[in-house]
Amino acid sequence: MPTPIPAFSLGIEEEYLLVDRTTGDLVPDPPPSLMAEAAELLPGQVNPEFLRCQIEIGTTKCATIAQARDDLRRLRAAVVNVAGRHGLAPIAAATHPFAGWAPQKHTDRERYSNLARDLGAPARRLVICGLHVHAGIEDPELRVDLMNQVRYFLPHLLSLTTSSPFWRGVDSGLMSYRLAVLNELPRTGTPEAFASWGDFQRHLGVLVDAGVIEDGTKLWWDVRPSVRFPTLEMRITDVPTRFEDSLTVAALYLCLLRLCYRLRVGNVTWRRYAQMLLEENRWRAQRYGLDAGLVDFGRGEVVPYADLLEEMIALVREDAEALGCTQEVLNARDILRRGTSAHRQRDIYQKAVAAGATPDAALREVVQWLVAETAHGL
C-alpha cells in the first residue's frame, strides 16, 4: 500500500518571558488578571507555562505558512498589548539576560506541582523559552520514519534561532544556553532511531508500565511524535526574537519533512548517522550557532554554515514551491546576514559597556532591545 500523502499542515507554539516594562526585571508573579484577560481575548490559544513568569501561545492548525503568519502575528500582538496594559512586556528570548531562577514561582496546577516534585532543582531552573513546530503527519508509521530522517537537520534549525547567550547576568559563551538548562532533565536531546511506530510504542510502554512517566508528553526530545495531535513536533529551537524568523524556521522544518517524504516515496532515505555524530552537531549549534559551521559527515569535515544553508535551500526548493513558502525559506539568508538574537544581544551589551555603562545597565539595555524586537513587525 502506498504511503498516503501527509497534509503538511502546521501549528506554531512560542513561549515568552514577562518583564517589567520599565526596569526589564523578570516578573515572578504577574497579576492573575493578565492571564485572564489574555485567555478571554485568545480562547484556547494562550496558556500559562510551568513558571508564572512565562506565557505560551499556540496558533490554530494552519493549512499554509501564510495562515500561520497571520495567526502568529495576531497572537504576539495580543500578548504585547495585554501585557502592556499591566505595565509588563513579553520578550521572545530563550533566557532572560540577568534574572535568577531561584525567585521564580511555578504555576499552581497539579501537573506543574508534580513536575516540580519529580524533577527537583532542574525543574526550578527552567526559566527558558522555546519555539515548537507541529507538522501534520497523519500516518504514525510515516511519522516515525520522518522523525528518524529529520534528526540530521535539527542542529541546522537550532543555529538559526539562538537567543540565549546570557544566564544570570553572565555571558555563557554559548549561543543557546537554554539547551544546557534543558539537558539537565531526563528524556531530552536527540531521539534514537526507531524501526517502526510499534517499536516506538513498545519503548514508550516500558516507561509507562513501570510508572516512570504517565505518557509521551514526558518525552522532551528535540523532535517527538505528539501525544495530543497527529503531528511530528520539533522542539530543539530557541524562541526567535523576531516572529518572521519563527516563520522561516517553521517553513524550513516543514520543507525538510516533505523532502524526506519524497525520498521515502522513491524508496530511498536520508542517510542515518550514529547518535554520537548527531549529538556532536547539536553541541556545535548550541555552542557556536551560525559562527563555526557543522560537521558534514559525508565529507568528514566542518563546513561553514553559509554553505550548508545554501545546500539546504537547494534541497528543499521544490518543497518550498509546493508548500507556498519560498520567501520564508529564503529569509534564512537574512538571518545569516544580520545574525540571530544571540548575536544582537551580545553586540548591544558589548557596545554599551564600551560606552561606559555598567554590566547591569548594559544587560538592561539588552532587555529593552528584546522588548522592542519582540514587537517588531506586528
Query: Quick check: 16 and 239 in contact, CB under 8 A?
Result: yes
CA dist., res. 208 & res. 265, Å (int)? 33
Q: What is the pLDDT of residue 103?
A: 76
User: For the chain, what is the mean pLDDT?
Assistant: 94
| Torsion angle of C-alpha atoms 96, 97, 98, 99, degrees rounded to 10 | 0
- Is 127 in a helix, a strand, or coil? coil
Cα–Cα separations (whole angstroms), residue 39 to 51, 91, 105, 250: 17, 19, 20, 25
Q: Which residue has the cell 536520508?
A: 270
Q: What is the pLDDT of residue 2?
A: 60
Cα–Cα separations (whole angstroms), residue 248 to 79, 100, 126, 262, 331: 21, 31, 26, 21, 6
Q: What is the pLDDT of residue 106?
A: 73
Please check the confidence at residue 46 and state whether its pLDDT lies above 80: yes
Q: What is the pLDDT of residue 211?
A: 92
CA 318, 294, 69, 344 torsion: positive or negative? Answer: negative
77: its cell numbers: 500582538
Q: Report residue 188: phi and psi, to 5°.
A: -120, 175
Helix (H) or strand (E) holding 54: strand 54-58
Mean predicted confidence (pLDDT) in 311-339 = 98
CA dist., res. 46 & res. 41, Å (int)? 9
Domains of the chain, first to last: 10-374 (3.30.590.20)
CA dist., res. 130 & res. 136, Å (int)? 20
Mean predicted confidence (pLDDT) in 98-123 = 76
Mean predicted confidence (pLDDT) in 321-326 = 98
Q: What is the pLDDT of residue 167?
A: 97
- Is 377 in a helix, a strand, or coil? coil
Beta pairing partners, 188: 220
Query: Quick check: 191 and 275 in contact, CB under 8 A?
Result: no
283: its cell numbers: 553541541
CB atoms within 10 A of CB 23: 11
Q: Give the list of residues 6+ apart from residue 345 with CB closer than 8 angstroms, or none.
A: 93, 97, 163, 165, 166, 366, 369, 370
Q: Which range (55-64, 266-275, 302-311, 326-335) has the least confidence?
A: 266-275
> How much is the pTM?
0.96
54-58 and 10-20 beta bridge pairing:
antiparallel
Please work out, in degrees rounded to the nearest 5, the angle formed at the alpha carbon of residue 170 by the alpha carbons of 165 and 172.
45
Q: What is the pLDDT of residue 364?
A: 98
Q: Which residue has the cell 555552542?
A: 287
Q: What is the pLDDT of residue 361?
A: 97
170-171 and 188-189 beta bridge pairing:
unpaired
Q: What is the pLDDT of residue 327?
A: 98
Q: What is the pLDDT of residues 141-161, one digit of tens each?
A: 999 999 999 999 999 999 999
- Is 88 in a helix, a strand, or coil? strand
Q: Which of 251, 250, 244 is nearest to 376 (CA)?
A: 244
Please check the confidence at residue 4 and state whether its pLDDT lies above 90: no
Q: What is the pLDDT of residue 69?
A: 97
Cα–Cα separations (whole angstroms), residue 159 to 94, 165, 178, 190, 265: 13, 12, 13, 15, 29
294-296 and 301-303 beta bridge pairing:
antiparallel
Q: Report residue 100: phi and psi, to 5°.
A: -95, 160
CA dist., res. 291 & res. 294, Å (int)? 9
